[in-house]
Amino acid sequence: MQSYINDWHLALKGYGENYETTFRPIGAIIHNSFLEVIAYTGIVLGILYFYILIRAISGYYKYENYKYIFSYLFFSLFLHSTFQGVTPFLFIVILSLSLDESETPKNLISYRS
């Protein structure tokens, strides 16, 4: 975070493709997925990414799914790459499979009569 305070251009843009070459040689890969996304994409795109992720998951906030949602978010605090690649997509698919057809989020699917 100190590098973001000293360089606002870096804070807005993130490390991008330089993320691995910057952090791997010193053995400092970030083991917090929230911070990793912000370090990779920058503050603006990181906030946008989390907003989209929250909107995608918000339709699945059901009592039965809380244990999956909160455990995923909890382990994201200690594991890296839980918000990269196909992992978030698979998490949303698993949440969608846990619902009955009558509980499908209305903001994702609309039926016309």
Question: Does residue 113 belong to any structural domain of this protein?
Answer: no
The pLDDT of residue 51 is: 92
Number of domains in the chain: 1
Residue 94 domain boundaries: 2-103
How far is it, in rounded angstroms, from Cα 4 to Cα 31? 18
Question: Does residue 12 belong to any structural domain of this protein?
Answer: yes
Question: What percentage of residues in the chain have a pLDDT greater than 70?
Answer: 75
Question: Cβ contacts of residue 17 below 8 Å, gap of 6+?
Answer: none
pTM, whole model, 2 decimals? Answer: 0.67
Question: Does residue 108 belong to any structural domain of this protein?
Answer: no
As a whole number, mean pLDDT of residues 87-108 equals 72
**5 exposed, middle or buried (CB, 10 Å; 0-12, 13-18, 19+)?**
exposed
Question: Does residue 69 belong to any structural domain of this protein?
Answer: yes
Q: pLDDT averaged over the chain?
A: 76
Question: Does residue 110 belong to any structural domain of this protein?
Answer: no
